[in-house]
Amino acid sequence: MRIAAIMTQSPPLDQPAAGAPPGQADEHVLLASLRNGNRGAAEELVRHTYRRIWALLFRLTGGEEEVAADLTQETYRKAWAALPSFDGRSAFSTWAFRIAYTTWLNHRRRPRPVVPMEDGLAARVRSEDPDAEALTERAQQDERLMRAVLGLPDPHRRLVAARFWGEVPVRELSAAEGISEQALRKRLRKALAILRDTLEVKS
């Protein structure tokens, strides 16, 4: 199983499309404008980051679209409330990803019904679909991968989710983590090796 290829497979997104992400200099302008009460700046930041944050949460929640959307809204609510503490050392999107990840962790710790994998698959795959078998296999693969990622220790889990599901560049992640790019890549390689071993054992 090729871990990197599987990790970068895109979920079926029907969320608002994002434009090209603004550069960090542009982000500083937007953030300064937002701090001065310009709601249009907030809408612009959301427009450029929403799709990737939703995709990250979609993966972390195991494909629960409504839950991912709710957690995305909660992420932005927390981001605006914490904006005075944002020092700008990392990109806004990277900072928001960390908030999204923490928001998901808090959600995960709340008591909630556990849906068996088979029931989840049945809801996503119709038996009359001519490609049902292939879709079921893909869904099972996604389920195994998601469980393996969630089984990683922090910070490996957070870094893998942000890098591959959130598409956060290595440069931005290393700045946010306060480590060199070389050190970050080393952590990612170790995390992928753990994932590979875990999935090989379970396959």
Question: Per-residue pLDDT for the chain (203 aa), expressed as one digit of tens each?
Answer: 344 444 444 444 444 444 444 555 577 788 888 888 787 888 888 888 898 899 889 888 878 889 999 999 999 999 989 988 887 777 888 889 889 988 998 888 775 544 443 444 444 444 444 454 554 555 566 677 777 888 888 778 888 888 888 778 888 888 888 889 999 999 999 988 888 888 876 65
Q: How crowded is residue 64: how many other Cβ atoms within 10 Å of its Cβ?
A: 15
Q: Are 14 and 55 a contacting pair, CB within 8 Å?
A: no
- For residue 177, the Cα-to-chain-centroid distance in whole angstroms is 16
Q: Report the sign of the C-alpha dihedral through residues 106, 9, 96, 64, in that order.
A: negative
User: What would you report as the CA-atom Rg of the chain, rounded to the nearest whole angstrom?
Assistant: 18
Task: Report the amino acid identity of residue 167.
Answer: E
Which domains are delineated in the chain?
A: 3-202 (1.10.1740.10)
Q: Which DSSP category does 60 fall into?
A: H
Tokens of 51: 């799709």
pTM of this prediction? 0.60
